[in-house]
Amino acid sequence: MSVKIKHYPGEEVETKDFREGKVLFESFRPKAKYAWSAGIAISRFLEELKNGRIIATTCSKCGRIMVPPRIYCEKCFKPTDGWTYVKDTGVINTFSVSFIAADASRLKEPIVVAIINLDGASEGMGIVHRIEEYGDWREIKIGMRVKAVWKPPEERTGAITDIKYFKLVKE
Amino acid sequence: MFGKKRVAIVGAGVTLFRRNLKETGKELSFHAAKMALEQAGMELRDIQSVVMGTAPDAFDGVHMKGEYLADGAGAYHKPYTRVFVGGGTGVFAPLAGWWHVASGKFDTCLVVCEEKMSSCYPHPQYAFTTIFDPILERPIGMNLIWIFALEMNRYMHKHNIKKEDIALVSVKNKRNALDNPIAQLAANITVEDVLNSEIMAWPVQRLDVSPTSDGAAAAVLVSEDIAKEVTDNPVWIDGVGWCIDSTYWTDRDLYYPDYVEYAARMAYKMAGIKNPPKEIDVAEPYDPFDYKELHHMEGLLLCKKGEAPKLTREGVTQRDGDLPTCPSGGLLGCGNPIAAAGMMKVCEIFWQLRGEAGKRQVPGDPRTGVAQAWGDLMQYGSVIVLRR
Ligand SMILES: [Zn+2]
């Protein structure tokens, strides 16, 4: 974008030009599948979710109670040295009300997602999860208190979705 | 001086930015690289090394796309490196070019950045779902726009910022883009247009967001001796900085980008800048969303925390203000072909400092400019300080 440049290359096409055969193209759908090991720390975390509890790791050097748990403290760069339960209640650190799905298509009903700072964890530490039972989304505020709503024990699989969502709770 | 050689930019090039371009990524890379060489008055045989910046392979659906793009970037039979730090890539690539030359290993380096997002269907946004943690985050149904919305909401909450003030950034940048011949979404819009646009993920609305795009941008970096041979007006890379924050993004306070501040401090220290708002004449902070320009102005220490909306409201960041910000039109106005968008900002500062920006030229004979990009999981900052 200099006055010395008179022409900028690029031929614009519209998506419909592909559909209408005005542009030649080739398409491909990848078929790769993945199975991830949950790892040392998160496997324990998921096991505890099955029991209806949220577990954190602790670092004796910086004193942090960390959730999600990890086997090393990334700040002190040493192994964490303890496990401790935190509560399934907490505070909304920030939230969003999404009217679009992951592929950018429109949703009929919005999804509310939040970062939840869990009670018992170090200040500002938490997890991302959904919020439901909120009434009017315009009434949701940062700082509101929430509590986990769990799947019944027999339906839990050791997944983050063993917590169905968090709901707003009165102070 | 840092390194063995002082490094200058002596030529830059850029293609159109559009939602969908007919050219392949290789072809776009060729056009931008060729233009940068022509502007520098140089030939490919003068180039000793090549750096390519390009973002996730998932957009193109071509794994190891650094290799795929190499010929288009002029890398045939040359030392070649592809760098990738998410959205931060577009400013990180010239930083990598800088160390190629500053180390004394090469006298010249061609830096090319490319992105072709239109290949991914139904929408390139979906390719971003695989950046999230597979165990804890993807089962929640994570969506790229959410992380911006979460960050924007936290920023607004912490400083009590109104959406009206944030919308002013979108209005300014889309208007600045009217004077940019490559721009995809140049427009005269109002704050009301932004506030009335479709809600994507509250508080993010359609006109708060830059589009997905195809495009390429490039620059020629040379050592001081070569710079003196090929041009009377080199632009010097006087400061470089980069930094990453923790991937545990649910454990950080998203209201402020510390990592951008650390990158900026690194670059300013190298450039001898003690008072950024006074010493920087023109800035191109990364603006994929309107609030991000404000967030990044603060991270770049161009104002105090929470003060960027006020400066914007007062017109300080307009092209004729005291601190012109995104005079190019930014990503909001020009489009956002990820790596090429960051590199376009570096090219814009280059042209602004050379007085070649035409209708976009900021007044006052600018001498020092800063460009910045941001990426990964809200955790990466790359900063470059240019001087004439
Ligand atoms: Zn520690």
Question: Which residues in chain B have Cβ-Cβ distances shorter than 8 Å to A1?
Answer: 14, 180-182, 328, 344, 347-348, 351, 357-358, 360
Burial of A81-100, coded b for 16+ CB within 10 Å and e otherwise, reads eeeeebebbbbbbbbbbbbb
Residue A21 located in a structural domain = no
User: Is residue A83 in some structural domain?
Assistant: yes
CATH number, position B268: 3.40.47.10
Q: Provide CB contacts within 8 A for B364, sequence distance 6+.
A: B281
Q: B94: domain range?
A: 7-121+211-387
For β-strands A78-79 and A72-73, DSSP reports them as antiparallel
Contacts of B356 in chain A (CB under 8 A): 2-4
pLDDT tens for each residue of B129-146: 888 999 999 999 998 899
Which pLDDT belongs to residue B1?
67
CA of A92 to the centre of ligand 1 (A): 25
Q: Is residue A134 part of a domain?
A: yes
- Which chain B residues touch A128 with a CB distance below 8 Å? 136-137, 140, 142, 150, 250
Q: Convert the pLDDT of each residue in B233-269 to its tens digit.
A: 999 999 999 999 999 999 999 999 999 999 999 999 9
Q: Which residue bears the tokens 């699989």? A: A157
Range of the domain at A99: 39-168
Domain membership of residue A32 (yes or no) is no
Structural domain count, chain A:
1
- CATH number of the domain encompassing residue A67: 2.40.50.140
Q: Is residue B201 part of a domain?
A: no
B257: CA distance to ligand 1 center in Å?
A: 21
Counting the structural domains of chain B, the total is: 1
Tell me the pLDDT of chain A (171 aa) as tens digits.
999 999 999 999 988 888 888 888 888 888 889 999 999 999 999 999 999 999 999 999 999 999 999 999 999 999 999 999 999 999 999 999 999 987 778 999 999 999 999 999 999 999 999 999 999 999 999 999 999 999 999 999 999 999 999 999 986
Q: Say if B289 is an interface residue toward chain A (CB within 8 Å).
A: no
**Residues of chain A with C-beta less than 8 angstroms from the C-beta of B20:** 12-15
Mean pLDDT over the full length of chain B: 96
Does this model's pTM top 0.95? Answer: yes
C-alpha distance from A134 to closest chain B C-alpha (Å) = 15
B-chain CB neighbours of A8 within 8 Å are 14-16, 181-182
Q: Is residue B88 part of a domain?
A: yes
Interface test mutation site (partner B, options A22, A54, A94, A113, max chain B beta carbons within 10 A)? A94
pLDDT tens, position by position, B203-235: 999 999 999 999 999 999 999 999 999 999 999
The partner residue sitting opposite A28, judged by closest CB among B19, B61, B136, is B61
**Is the pLDDT confidence value at B79 over 80?**
yes
On whether residue A25 sits in a domain, the answer given is no
- Nearest Cα to Cα of residue B166 among B317, B362, B323, B328: B317
Residue B150 domain-assigned?
Answer: no
Closest CA in chain A for residue B136:
A160
Whether A144 is in a domain gets the answer yes
Residue among A60, A69, A74, A99 at smallest CA distance from A160: A69
Compare all CA atoms of chain B with the CA of A24 and give the residue at the minimum distance: B22
B16 contact partners, CB below 8 Å, separation of at least 6 = A8, A9, A10, A12, B182, B184, B215
Other C-beta atoms closer than 10 Å to the C-beta of B162 total: 11
Could you tell me the CA-to-CA distances from B232 to B9, B13, B38, B40, B370 in Å, in that order? Answer: 12, 18, 15, 11, 22
Interface of B with A in 188-247 (CB under 8 A): 198-204, 214-215, 246
Burial class (CB in 10 A: 0-12, 13-18, 19+), B342: buried
> What pairing do the DSSP bridges indicate for beta strands B7-14 and B235-244?
antiparallel
Minimal CA separation from A35 to chain B, in Å: 9
Q: Is residue B185 part of a domain?
A: no
User: Which residue do the tokens 């050097």 mark?
Assistant: A61
Is residue A53 situated within a structural domain?
yes
